[in-house]
Amino acid sequence: MDFPVYQPDNSERAISLRRHRDALAISGAAVIAFSIWDMIKVFIELFLGEETLSSMVATVIEAIDVTDPEDMKYVPLIAWVTTVTILLLACAAIFFYHFIIGISAYRAGRQTAGKKNRLYLVLTVLILAVSLFFYTPNILHFFPRDEETDQIGLATLLVELTSIANYLFLLYSAYRIHQLEREALS
């Protein structure tokens, strides 16, 4: 009996293409995962950490001086609502940005994207530039080891470096896929 057996194209180029597509999909999933973990960490730190949200709001309330004691009742409520709203909006925006990159890279890697999309690569370059801009001082500050540098700093640094490496991996994989596909056509 003849079974329809899947015959994969195992040429050098096809193997390389499969590898890079898989890497692209994993990088995309990792972008989303890192983003979610960052959000969780921000919220845990704000509610349970040393510099909590309540102390931040307290400084804000102190900064506003209201002459009328009758109005003073509403100030804490308004301050809280505004702070939490701004925080949630900022988190949602940052997560959405990462989510677009992640889901586009994942779809491109798994070849389930409807049409060719290059926007996420531009977004990745942008976020890479921003991360490098913000993290380079951190990294430079960390490496001449002071006594103050603790394990938390090390862990944060590790995650930062991994996420920067992740963006680079993503761009490299996308570039290689582009190159290989063009070779296949010609």
Partner 1 sequence: MTIWQRINQLAIGIVMLLLGVLLFLYDADTYPVIIVLYSLALQLTGYRLLWYYFTMARHMVGGRSILFRGALFLDFGLFTGSLLTVPQFYVLIYLTGTLAFSAIVDLLRAREARGIQASWKLKTFQGAVKLLTVLICLIYLHSEALVVDIFSVGFVFSALMRIVNACRRTRVITIS
Q: Please say whether the dihedral angle defined by the alpha carbons of residues 91, 92, 97 and 98, taken in this order, is positive or negative.
A: positive
How many whole angstroms separate alpha carbon 54 and alpha carbon 45? 12
Q: Is 14 in the site for partner 1 (CB under 8 A)?
A: no
Nearer to partner 1, 152 or 185 (CB): 152
Instruction: Name residue 171's amino acid.
Output: L
Q: Is 152 in the site for partner 1 (CB under 8 A)?
A: yes
Q: Is 139 in the site for partner 1 (CB under 8 A)?
A: no
Q: Is 156 in the site for partner 1 (CB under 8 A)?
A: yes
Choice from 41, 118, 141, 178 touching partner 1 (CB under 8 A) = 41
Closest CA to 118 of 128, 110, 107: 107
**Distant-in-sequence, close-in-space partners of 175: CB < 8 Å, separation ≥ 6:** none
Residue for token digits 């590898």? 19
> In the complex, which residues of this chain contact partner 1 (CB under 8 A)?
18-19, 22-23, 26-27, 29-30, 33-34, 37, 41, 44, 48, 50, 151-152, 154-156, 158-159, 162, 166, 169
